[in-house]
Amino acid sequence: MSGIAGIYHLDQHPVVSSELCQMMKVLAHRGPDASDTWCQDSIGLGHCMLWTTAESLHEQLPLVKGDLTITADARIDNRDELAQVLSLPDRPLEKIADSEFILAAYEQWGSDCPEHLLGDFAFMIWDGQKQQLFCARDHFGVKPFFYYHQPNKSFAIASEIKGLLCLDWVPQRINETRIADYLTLMLEDQVITTFEEILRLPPASRMWVDSTGVEIETYWKLDPNYELKLGSDDAYAAEFRRIFTEAVDCRLRSAFPIGSHLSGGLDSSSVSCVARKILDETTGETLHTFSNVFDTVKECDERPYINEVLKQGGYTPHYIHADTFGPLSDVDQIWDYEDEPLLGPSHHYPWRINQSAHQANVRVS
């Protein structure tokens, strides 16, 4: 979870570096390990770095390569596949950052590059030769991407809405349509936000920005007609296990201890069991688990199911006593980070779990 930001003045007005630095300051909680900006005439990009993978320890963003400059919040999962077809720096793969893979993919395929990338990503590339900003977001929109466009004048991007609101020229008008959507629990619109004129790039979308305006296109859609046909129930079970294991394995790249949110449900239990098995077979590390438990509200306590997972061994469990705090606990700190209304009063549970993970130096969970 790093932070990215960018300013592009379509009227060729020079970027004020102090504005970009202010965006970095607002987004600093997303990337406490490093921060840098790059400005050239009417374009400026910024990055706040959170080290997670071993490759990110060598990463420096924004990255300039000839006429191209990239800033990105990304984890690319098909690195081995891409390494076979891309022109990458002459270094061991474990020292080539994910942003370098993205930049090499752009050099190879241009604006078709997101179609070749697997993982979670939000990035922007300034193409100096084309005088164009190219942006993309991952297939399911895991990485956030917000923007403001003032036609014929200015364009700004940030990982969080507050990274845009800190700019004096970005309006702060409440979007009543979004508030109505929230009150009626109809949040299907993937573009609008709580603030008028501040929009989000939809999942699986790419964007081109230049002096003529903004163009957005969807690069991928789930095929509703695709059907996997196998010979038996056992074959389906084996294929599911293979895909599920691969999905978990992709998310275990970390230079730090790895954790999981473990409740009594089947989803978190399955993820935790597979992750522990992979770690045991590869690095020998234990998996940190973080679980809400209830000592006084017994009907909410899921420890009997949690313990069934933990008794396999290979875990370092952490317990958060969730009946000692409530929806108004930590509310001031929570709202310092949240940009839009929260659905339901359960926001305090993941907040305390993530606090516990942070204290255990777990950055991937």
Q: How far apart are CA 326 and CA 213, in angstroms?
A: 47
Provide CATH 3.40.50.620 ranges for the chain.
233-359
Residues with pLDDT less than 70, the chain: none
For residue 58, the model assigns a pLDDT of 86
The model's pTM is 0.95
CA distance 46 to 61: 8
Q: Where are the alpha helices (DSSP H) in the chain?
A: 17-26, 79-83, 98-109, 162-165, 176-183, 233-250, 266-282, 303-310, 331-337, 348-359
Closest CA to 97 of 67, 136, 52, 142: 52
The residue written with tokens 């084996």 in the block is 238
pLDDT at 342: 84
Give pLDDT, residue 254.
95
Q: Looking at domain 3-218, which CATH architecture does it have?
A: 4-Layer Sandwich (3.60)
Q: Looking at residue 63, what is its pLDDT? A: 98
**Residue 250: its pLDDT value, please?**
95
The CATH H-level (homologous superfamily) assignment of domain 233-359 is HUPs (3.40.50.620)
- Contact criterion met (CB below 8 Å) for 19 and 169: no
196/194 Cα distance (integer angstroms): 7
Task: State residue 343's pLDDT score.
Answer: 80
Query: What does the pLDDT look like over 236-266, one tens digit per residue?
Result: 999 999 999 999 999 999 999 999 999 999 9
Residue 347, pLDDT score: 86
Note whether 252 and 271 are within 8 A (CB). no
* Pairing status of strand 205-210 against strand 213-218: antiparallel
pLDDT value for 341? 87
Please provide residue 159's backbone torsions phi and psi, each rounded to the nearest 5 degrees. -70, -25
| All CATH 3.60.20.10 domain ranges in the chain, comma separated | 3-218
Reported for 20-27, long-range contacts at CB under 8 A and 24+ positions apart, including other chains, are 20/44, 20/45, 20/46, 21/46, 22/166, 22/167, 23/156, 23/158, 23/163, 23/164, 23/166, 23/167, 24/48, 25/166, 26/160, 26/162, 26/163, 26/166, 27/3, 27/158, 27/159, 27/160, 27/162, 27/163
